[in-house]
Every structure is written in structure tokens, then in C-alpha cells.
Structure 1
Amino acid sequence: MTTFLTPQQRADRTAAAVEAAVTAGRDLGLTVTGPTVLHDVFSVVVHLAPSPVVARVPTVLPRPGDLAALARRQRDELDVTRWLADQGVPVIAPSPLVPREPVRRDGFSMTFWTFVEQARDREPDYVANAESVAGLHAALRAYPGRRLEFLSAADPRFIADGLALLDRHPSLIGAAELDRARREWRLLEPLVRSRGAFEARFPGVGLQPVHGDCPPANIVNAVDGDLYADFELVTLGPVEWDLAALGPEHEAAYNRGARRNGMRPLNEEVLAFVNALGMLRIIAALTLVPQLPELMGYLEPAVDRWRATPFAGGVNV
């Protein structure tokens, strides 16, 4: 039987995250008198007003107790975004008012960012965003920082563990669908676990730092201009990973941006691979629904689309 977080438990988790962020911020010398929650889904994002600082506190995690692994990811994100900001790339940058390191407090690991005023009257243009991502990729090619892990954004451990655990949640996915997902994973897993296997299967497809978490959907419409945000899953991989599951219109837009930036167009075979892999991540994400019950409403349409796709996206290994 699947046990879901109650509304009261969800509220208590949010309150605990806010309290941890406020306490940590004050310990770092910030004035915090009016904390305001800006976002509360996978992370509690809180403006530590009146300080121009936003704390992001991840709360829905595949491995909630592994704060060390979370902090490693957060350091990568802080390093990459600080470097991009220094190059003049429009990103939401780490706050310069506190040390640029993850902070652990009361069972949470959090990061601190510059507060930006959002243009609430502007609707996001995801097609235009997809075109602009090619410019972000062009900038990221020169990133000189610590070595990023190959396709860590796919989190193969999360997929493997999630597909193993879903037997315990028959209300979330049927037995036949789970069997299909596991067979697809057996086919695709070697290409995710091994950079060498990937490069042998897709020769000539270069790898580089990429955003890792659907950058066309993670561009903030700020008052002073659009800003790339949420590099929590920054990784080494093919540029196709950042366009996974977005569809032909967004792919065509990206290719326009790629031509303008002197980059290669998207590779159709690699797109098929990352699309299939992204779908398996969605299936594994069903295991997060007990922590975030409203997530089911977002995942169900994607699972329905997956049922209608060819096995493993038609990828031949």
C-alpha cells in the first residue's frame, strides 16, 4: 500500500525548510525579517527579505538522507553558474553576500542565490527559449571547472532503484508497464553507465557541459531580461539531453540557434536515446509521488505518451 504525505505533513515540511533557511541566513550575517516562499514543489525557494537573497532548499529527493551527494551536485551548480555569470552569460547567479558553498542545516542542504524581480505579466515562450539554449551550450563548451560526471542528470541509480521499488506501488503503475520499463532499462542502461559505451554507439557526437534539466523550461522572465536558472542537474553529456521530450517544434528552434552559434544540429539517433531515457526517468519519478502527491498529475500525461511510443524509443543498441 502506498502512503502519501498528508497536507499537514507537507505544510510542516515547508515550514521546517523555511525555518532552516532563515536560521542559516541569519548565521551568515543576513538580515531576515520577512521570509517569503516563492516556490514550493521539489524545493522550497524562499526570499530572505529584506536581504536580496533567495535560499533554495531541496525537499523532494530520491535519496533524502544522502545530503553529501546532494551537496556535491550543489557545488557543481554553484561553480558553473558563478563561471557563467563571470562570462556575462545571463544566469541567476549565486549570492555574493554569503560564501558560495552549500549550507547544511536541520537535515537540509541549501544554496543561496541573488534575488531577481520577475516580470509576472510575461508568458514564457518555450520555443524561443529552446532556440536560445544553443547560445548557452556554446558558452558552456568553454567551462574550465571541475570535471562533471557523464550523464549524471539521468541519475542511473535513481532509475534502477525506482524501477525496483515500483513493485511496492501497484496503484502508481501496472505490472505490464513496469515490465516494459525494466526491459527498456536493461537495453539502455549500459549507454548511461559508461561514457565509452555511449561514444562507441554514437561516434562523433561530442560531449560537453549541459544544463541537465530542460533549460527551455528553466528560463526566468526577469524584469531586466531573461535569465537561465536551476542548474541543479548540470552534467557532461550530449546537447540533445537538454531538449529531451520537447518535440519537433522545439528541436527545430534549437537547430536555428545552433546554426547561428556555429554548433552542430541535433542528432536524431541521440534524440531518440535521450527521449527514451527521459521517459524512464519519469517512470522512476513515480516513486516520488508519496513525497509530493500532486506530482502524479504531471506524470500521468507523460506516462500515457510513453505507452504510445515504440519500445525504448526505437533505439537499437
Structure 2
Amino acid sequence: MAESLTPEQLTARTSAAVDAAVAAARDLGLAVTGADVLHDLFSVVVRLTPAPVVVRIPTVLPHSVSLDSLARRQQAELDVTRWLADQGCPVIPPSPLVPREPVRRDGFSMTFWPFVEEDRDKAPDYPANSESVADLHAAMRAYPGRLSFLSAAEPDFIGESLVLLEQRPDLVGPAELDRARREWRVLEPFVRSRRAFEDRFPGIDLQPIHGDCPPANVFNGVDGNLYADFELVTSGPVEWDLAALGPDLEAAYDRGARRNGMRTLDEDGLRFVNAVGMLRVIASLTLVPQLPVLMDYLRPAVDQWRTTPFAGGLTG
């Protein structure tokens, strides 16, 4: 893997993403006289002015992701959020000011969204958010578009990362890497194959899901909460959207599920998604050179993983 980016290189990457967003917006006919960075972690999120538009430009990507595969994922997000908005679901939809498709510019692929004013005085209510995810799942069940099975697990990323990490014992030690590989051999078949998953977990139905921790991706707008950030939208078990959140938030989701006449979370399903989620954490260590601060977020999760049962206890 490459050496970690320097602060100067990180600043240059952000500036390049902002410049690309401004140029792409002007090419699309938007009036742009200013651009403010709202967020800069895995993506650079830029608010344009005076056009009421926010541009999201992914900048930290798995080695297995190409611009083509990223654009396909972005198109799925745009399609799902537009459909949900049309059904009256409280979601941030694509911007109506530009065509509903990803835009490529200067080596980036970006999407355009309306600017929504945030209620900065309102703290996130994660139990309420988790309960409301059942409402989102109820709305998503009828989505007519095609979504691939558990693409949010990014199996290519996990598999390739477990090879690349051989080169970085400073990020994960040999014993931990060996465990991760053995766990992946147990779990990978159920991530790769819908049929294998259904055979192993016969009581768990599959449906369109958010894909990326929706309780943490509820936007507190001044006019109400909105579901946001469907970048990993996929088809899978609803348990995936509650992975690693713990019993209190699982119980909150179950309240919402019962209110919607839906099944509650399955214990075996939770063990599966939690175990796969932990391997995604290990795989994400390969992103640290692109985003050195990421190590501060990953280290506690890696420490927790060491204490968990092998492959979530799903070896039988």
C-alpha cells in the first residue's frame, strides 16, 4: 500500500474536489459564486452559492472501487431517494436543478443534492432514529428497481484488503490478520450468494435497505428529520441497517417494526451482520493511508473485535 498522505496532500485533494464540483456545476448551468466545505472525511461535501445545491464528492475509496462502479452505486442512490421522495417518505432527494445522474469531472464522480437547512440546536436522538428506521424499511419494501444483494458489505474490498494488509503489520498484527481471514472463509459464502444466505438463514426475508447505518444518517432539518446518505443502498436483511448498534437501539427498532406489522430483528441475523461488519472494519484499515485520522475511529472497533466470538459464533 502507498504511504500515508501528508497534510498538504490532504488539503490539495480537498481543493481539487471543490474545484471539480464548481466547474461541473457551472457546466450544468448553475450559478456559482461561492463554495463552502460542509464536511470532509470519506467525501468532500460542498455547498454552492447562490445555487441552493450541495455536491457530494467521494474522495476516500476502497482500492476495489473504480469510477465506473462508483457511478453505478451513485445512480442507485439517486434512483432510490427520488422514488422514496415521490412516495412521500421524508428523505433528502436529488437536486431538481440538474439531471438525476452522477457527474464526472477531473477524476471525481459526484452527485448533486438540494441544500437543506440543519437544525443545529437539535441533538441526534438515536433511539428515536432507530425506531423510525422500521418506517423507512416499510417504505422501501415496495421499491420496484433492482438492487444487488448485500453490495454494502463490499466483499471484494474485504477479500482484497485481507491480502493487502500483509504489507502493513503496523496496522494489524499477523495473528489478528489470520483470524480475520479464517472468519472471512466462514462468512464470505453468505455475503456473495443470496441463495446461500437464504439457505443458512431461512427465517430472514430480504428487501431493499439503506445499507449504511441509517440511525446515524438521519438529518435534523429545520422542518423535520430526513433520511440521508443512501450511498450503500442494497438488498439484504434489515438487520444490516442495525449492525453494531447494541441491544438498546435494536429494541427501539423492534418497537417500530411491531408498529409497522413487520418482523422483529433475528438474533442469528444480527450475529451475522455484526461479524461481517467487524471484518469491514479490519478491511478499512487499508484506507488509513488515504485518511490517516481514520485510525482514531477504527482502533476502538478493532479492540472490540478481538473480544467477540469467532465469526459471530456462526461456525456451526
Per the TM superposition, whether the score is higher than 0.5 is yes
User: Contact 1:127 / 1:253 at 8 angstroms: preserved in 2?
Assistant: yes
User: Contact 2:189 / 2:196 at 8 angstroms: preserved in 1?
Assistant: yes
Report the equivalent of 2:93. 93
Residue 313 of structure 1, CA deviation = 1.1
**Cα deviation code 1:146-174 (max 9, x no counterpart):** x1000000010000001110011111111
**Cα deviation code 1:25-83 (max 9, x no counterpart):** 01101111111100000000001111111000000000377100000000000000000
User: Contact 2:64 / 2:157 at 8 angstroms: preserved in 1?
Assistant: no
What is the distance in 1 between the residues matched to 2:271 and 2:149?
18
* Residue 56 of structure 2 corresponds to residue 31 of structure 1: no
What is the distance in 1 between the residues matched to 2:13 and 2:64?
13
* Residue 190 of structure 2 corresponds to residue 191 of structure 1: yes
* Residue 312 of structure 2 corresponds to residue 313 of structure 1: yes
Secondary structure, aligned partner of 2:220: strand
Question: 1:48-197, aligned counterparts within 5 Å?
Answer: 48-63=48-63, 66-145=66-145, 147-197=146-196
What is the distance in 1 between the residues matched to 2:59 and 2:26?
21
User: Contact 1:244 / 1:274 at 8 angstroms: preserved in 2?
Assistant: yes
Residue 204 of structure 1, CA deviation = 2.8
User: Contact 1:2 / 1:171 at 8 angstroms: preserved in 2?
Assistant: no
Secondary structure, aligned partner of 1:259: helix
User: Contact 1:14 / 1:44 at 8 angstroms: preserved in 2?
Assistant: yes
**Cα deviation code 1:224-262 (max 9, x no counterpart):** 101100000000000000000000001000000000011
What is the distance in 2 between the residues matched to 1:306 and 1:65?
25
Could you state the TM-score of these two structures normalised by the residue count of structure 1? 0.98
Q: Which amino acid aligns with 1:57?
A: I
What is the distance in 1 between the residues matched to 2:28 and 2:66?
24
What is the distance in 2 between the residues matched to 1:126 and 1:300?
23
**Cα deviation code 1:259-306 (max 9, x no counterpart):** 001100000000000000000000000000000000000000000110
What is the distance in 2 between the residues matched to 1:262 and 1:23?
48
Q: Give ranges in structure 2 of 5+ residues lacking alignment.
A: none
User: Contact 2:91 / 2:226 at 8 angstroms: preserved in 1?
Assistant: yes
What is the distance in 1 between the residues matched to 2:260 and 2:15?
45
Residue 315 of structure 1, CA deviation = 1.1
User: Contact 1:70 / 1:109 at 8 angstroms: preserved in 2?
Assistant: yes
Report the equivalent of 1:284. 283
Q: 1:316 to 1:129 in 2, by over 3 A?
A: same
User: Contact 1:71 / 1:102 at 8 angstroms: preserved in 2?
Assistant: yes
What is the distance in 1 between the residues matched to 2:303 and 2:288?
16
Report the equivalent of 1:229. 228
Q: 1:65 to 1:217 in 2, by over 3 A?
A: closer
**Cα deviation code 1:114-167 (max 9, x no counterpart):** 11000111110111111100000000000012x100000001000000111001
What is the distance in 2 between the residues matched to 1:268 and 1:44?
36
User: Contact 1:2 / 1:168 at 8 angstroms: preserved in 2?
Assistant: no
What is the distance in 2 between the residues matched to 1:13 and 1:65?
18
Q: Give ranges in structure 1 of 5+ residues lacking alignment.
A: none
Q: 1:288 to 1:197 in 2, by over 3 A?
A: same
What is the distance in 2 between the residues matched to 1:177 and 1:243?
25
Secondary structure, aligned partner of 1:49: strand
Task: After the TM superposition, list the runs of 4 or more consecutive aligned residues in structure 1 that deviate by more than 3 angstroms.
Answer: none
What is the distance in 2 between the residues matched to 1:182 and 1:70?
26
Count of residues in Structure 1 that have an aligned counterpart in Structure 2: 316
Residue 316 of structure 1, CA deviation = 2.9
Residue 96 of structure 1, CA deviation = 0.1
Q: Which amino acid aligns with 1:185?
A: W
Residue 205 of structure 1, CA deviation = 1.1
What is the distance in 1 between the residues matched to 2:226 and 2:28?
26
Secondary structure, aligned partner of 2:32: coil
Percent identity over the alignment? 74
Q: Which amino acid aligns with 1:72?
A: R
